[in-house]
Amino acid sequence: MPTIRLVNVTKQFSKGSKAVDQLNLTIEDGHFVSLLGPSGCGKTTTLRMIAGLETPTDGEIYFDDTCVFSNEKGINVSPDKRNVGFLFQNYALWPHMTVRRNIAFGLENMKWDKKKIENRVAEICKAMRIEEYIDRYPAELSGGQQQRVAIARTLAPNPRVLLMDEPLSNLDAKLRNDMRAELKRLHKQTGATFVYVTHDQLEAMTLSTRICLMKLGILQQYSSPLELYGKPANLFTADFVGNPSINLIPMDAQMAGDAVKLSSADLQLTFRPNEPVALPESGKVVLGVRPEFLKQQDENAVDAQVESSLPSGMETILVTKVGAQRLTSVIFGDVDFKSGENLKMGFSGNKYQLFNGDTGMRLTSGSLEV
Ligand code: ATP
């Protein structure tokens, strides 16, 4: 399976601004990479450029050492020569063909011999757990089963790379969960490189080995899901991943020895950085507190008042106010709180984030003292 390398890839459509701007990205062999970001950030365009369905305005694309696109060198390998499988949102199966024929059809077009096709169809149907539907027509299958057939059809020719554009978005929540697990299993089983477009951060977090987070055509961060969550490169990344969202609190900062004194109208805190930190000259920072790191406790805590409480059984999303500062936390267990109730909310551990208030870039993480 190849490593896919995008070098300074830019796409400018005739109308409008750049859909993808100077993208540098290496998708390592055998990885499951999600292209994540809000609507219009350039995910689909990037995927289509890898497939060869869209021509970049500038830059180069490599599959291992083979250049499949170069504006400068005048290279543009056609989609059918790139050996990629492509799974769209609308995976249109042929309605007049059985599952078996739907899968075999592409292989026949590729001039595979009859016995080889028969074996491959049986093999892939087993892997996708659709053997018992093999002689049914698409209309006789549920949405999830149809989706599995579509995946089987895409995987049948053994593509080196599987490109998927929001393939689960038409499925209901339960089925989507099941299919996610299926995709993860399939990735492991095939060893192929998966590139997956989604705007659903949870989907990207749970499926991927690496996430490429984009905004307005520009790469924001390319790292593992847990690094994206725990060490967000900037405020956009911090805010985009995690549900409920991270609390972002603008504060004034001043060094006090190795520590940082943070103050806002409602909060006075001492931040102890995990590594040496250089504050911006303006002293403007943004403190990032993930909801699970704001706890109901007596020690190292501030006085807060409950604004709203949303229990879901396993956990409760609690919104409190410290003065005018609204803070969201997640309390685990089946607890509930009354609106207006006074309680103490506190800090522990060293996973609080500090961002440069002027540039939005992450400075460091650390612990908090009241
Ligand atoms: P979504 O999640 O909504 O599908 P996306 O992140 O996949 O969005 P793209 O479809 O890659 O975004 O589009 C990126 C930008 O390029 C958008 O501003 C879009 O309007 C623009 N764009 C996409 N295709 C074309 C086209 N054929 N002509 C002109 N502009 C286009």
Domain boundaries, the chain: 4-239, 245-369
- pLDDT of 191 > 80? The answer is yes
Question: Would you state the pLDDT for residue 282?
Answer: 97
CA distance 64 to 50: 13
CATH of domain 4-239: 3.40.50.300
Question: Would you state the pLDDT for residue 155?
Answer: 84
CA distance 233 to 235: 7
| Residue 164 tokens, joined | 């998927």
Question: Would you state the pLDDT for residue 138?
Answer: 92
Nearest to 162 by CA among 182, 136, 192, 185: 192
Question: Would you state the pLDDT for residue 182?
Answer: 82
Question: Would you state the pLDDT for residue 250?
Answer: 97
Tell me how far the alpha carbon of residue 192 lies from the centroid of ligand 1, in angstroms. Answer: 27
Q: β-strand 352-356 against 315-322: which pairing, if any? A: unpaired
pLDDT mean over 37-44: 94
90 band by pLDDT with thresholds 50, 70 and 90: low
pLDDT mean over 4-25: 93
- pLDDT of 20 > 70? The answer is yes
CA distance 55 to 329: 45
Tell me how far the alpha carbon of residue 150 lies from the centroid of ligand 1, in angstroms. Answer: 24
CA distance 345 to 266: 14
CA distance 207 to 233: 21
Rounded to whole angstroms, what are the CA distances from 147 to 74, 105, 109, 131, 237? 38, 17, 22, 14, 31
SS3 155: helix
pLDDT tens, 25-36? 999 999 999 999
CA distance 10 to 29: 23
Beta-bridge mates of residue 334: none
Assign a CATH topology to domain 245-369.
OB fold (Dihydrolipoamide Acetyltransferase, E2P) (2.40.50)
Q: What is the pTM of this model?
A: 0.89
Kindly list the protein residues whose Cβ atom lies closer than 6 A to any atom of ligand 1. 13, 15-16, 19, 37, 39-45, 199
Tell me how far the alpha carbon of residue 19 lies from the centroid of ligand 1, in angstroms. Answer: 6
Rounded to whole angstroms, what are the CA distances from 252 to 249, 270, 281, 285? 10, 11, 11, 6
